[in-house]
């Protein structure tokens, strides 16, 4: 009888172990779209870096490419993904305004020339007065135009914005009728080949204002901080891998460039106009300054002026935004959070 009980206990133990061994890991999906500052995520997945960090924390992470950038943000907002790559302006005007509490887990870079205004036959922003300008309306290109006009003593009332799909901008600029466009790389680099074109303003003139982020659902991140740790670890390992002129670094950037439709030289050219925060300490130095809060206030004011904060928004401060250097907007409606929690762990080698 005793031996029979021992055998039964052993069988139960084996069965319980088997159930635990094959229990499903927490699984997460992140969407991304092609852009120089986001190509490291694709490489991280393809090279196994994402899996390495996910395995460390006992989870599964899958990055899914969505060809239409705005559609990717919309799908995240609708709950189809746990995280998504997006700009700071779109993070505010789409998920945050839509009521989805989101956290900017990774502040990866800022556009430092990747976005620009091209004009044929003139070399100043002042030449845009009373002229039509083709761009993706209500996008970061529209924001860039507003900032360029402001710095030149003009306003949006002085120009006529012509809404044009990003896929059509280069072709439009190649026609005689279109004299000026606002766009981003790689479209900007292609359009610059047009004879007589001049780059009259670029995002290098407003450093730190057009930010490229990895945004994660705040509730998901709170429930699964291991997701934040794994993604942060994978990001900074990837940046370290691609940096420099070693064979490994060049191979990594070549793979990223090819995935983005260019080669190593073309991708390096895009990276030159992208201020990547090369390691966690650099990230912390940036997000700890008052500039981030000031930038988000400026973005919120632009967004409210253009009706991007929703019909019920009473002012630019309708949506609350938190940053390590202070908060902006409605404290009772915090929907966008910039965190330094995970970058601090990375900087201290505690991931």
Write the pLDDT tens digit of every residue in 174-231. Answer: 999 999 999 988 889 889 999 999 999 999 999 999 999 999 999 999 999 999 999 9
Positions in the chain short of pLDDT 50: 1-5, 8-22
**Residue 17, pLDDT score:** 43
Alpha helices (runs of H) in 78-139, residue ranges in sequence order: 88-91
Q: How far apart are CA 179 and CA 223, in angstroms?
A: 51
Mind giving me the DSSP string for 196-247?
TEEEEEEGGGSTTSSEEEEEEEHHHHHH-HHHHHHHHHHHHHHHHHHSSSSH
Do residues 182 and 133 lie in contact, with contact meaning Cβ atoms separated by under 8 Å?
yes
**Residue 242, pLDDT score:** 97
Residue range 108-132, pLDDT digits in tens: 999 999 999 999 999 899 999 999 9
Closest CA to 263 of 189, 191, 210: 189
Q: How far apart are CA 134 and CA 172, in angstroms?
A: 8
Closest CA to 90 of 213, 274, 269: 213
Strand ranges for the chain from DSSP E: 27-32, 60-65, 83-87, 102-111, 115-120, 132-135, 160-163, 180-184, 197-202, 211-217, 274-276, 320-323, 326-328, 334-338
Whole-Å CA distances, 188 to 41, 63, 116, 215, 226 = 22, 27, 7, 25, 38
Q: How far apart are CA 270 and CA 109, in angstroms?
A: 12
Q: How far apart are CA 316 and CA 60, in angstroms?
A: 38
Distance of CA 325 to the CA centre of its chain: 20
**Residue 274, pLDDT score:** 94
Dihedral (CA of 266, 272, 277, 279) sign = positive
Q: What are phi and psi of 318, to 5 degrees?
A: -60, -40
- Which residues, at least 6 apart from 187, have a Cβ–Cβ distance to it below 8 Å? 166, 169, 170
Fill in the DSSP letter of residue 319.
Answer: S
**Residue 23, pLDDT score:** 60
Do residues 283 and 107 lie in contact, with contact meaning Cβ atoms separated by under 8 Å?
yes
- DSSP-derived 3-state class of residue 153: coil
> pTM of the predicted model, to two decimals?
0.87
The two beta strands, 60-65 and 132-135, are unpaired
**Residue 165, pLDDT score:** 87
Q: How far apart are CA 71 and CA 64, in angstroms?
A: 13
Q: How many helices (H) and strands (E) does the chain have?
A: 15, 14
């Amino acid at each position: 009888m005793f031996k029979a009980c021992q055998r039964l206990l052993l069988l139960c133990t084996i069965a319980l172990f088997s159930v635990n061994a094959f229990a499903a890991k927490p699984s997460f999906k992140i969407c991304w779209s092609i852009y120089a500052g986001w190509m490291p995520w694709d490489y991280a997945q393809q090279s196994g870096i994402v899996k390495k960090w996910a395995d460390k924390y006992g989870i599964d992470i899958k990055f899914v490419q969505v060809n239409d950038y705005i559609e990717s943000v919309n799908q995240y907002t609708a709950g189809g993904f746990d995280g998504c790559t997006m700009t700071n302006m779109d993070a505010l005007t789409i998920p945050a305004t839509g009521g989805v509490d989101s956290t900017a887990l990774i502040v990866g870079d800022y556009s430092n020339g990747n976005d620009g205004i091209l004009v044929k036959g003139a070399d100043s922003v002042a030449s845009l007065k009373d002229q039509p300008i083709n761009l993706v309306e209500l996008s970061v290109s529209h924001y860039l135009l507003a900032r360029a006009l402001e710095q030149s003593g003009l306003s949006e009332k002085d120009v006529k914005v012509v809404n044009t799909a990003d896929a059509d901008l280069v072709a439009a600029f190649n026609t005689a009728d279109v004299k000026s466009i606002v766009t981003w790389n790689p479209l900007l680099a292609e359009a610059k080949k047009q004879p007589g074109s001049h780059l009259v303003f670029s995002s290098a003139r407003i450093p730190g204002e057009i930010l490229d982020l990895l945004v994660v659902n705040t509730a998901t991140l709170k429930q699964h901080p291991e997701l934040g740790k794994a993604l942060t670890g994978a990001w900074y390992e990837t940046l370290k891998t691609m940096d420099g002129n070693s064979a490994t670094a060049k191979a990594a950037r070549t793979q990223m460039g090819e995935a983005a439709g260019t080669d190593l030289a073309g991708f390096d050219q895009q990276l030159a106009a992208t201020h990547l925060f090369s390691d966690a300490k650099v990230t912390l130095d940036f997000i700890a300054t008052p500039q981030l809060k000031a930038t988000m206030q400026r973005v919120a004011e632009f967004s409210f002026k253009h009706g991007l904060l929703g019909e019920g928004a009473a002012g630019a401060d309708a949506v609350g935004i938190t940053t390590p250097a202070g908060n902006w907007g409605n404290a009772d409606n915090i929907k966008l959070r910039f965190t330094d929690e995970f970058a601090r762990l990375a900087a201290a080698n505690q991931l």
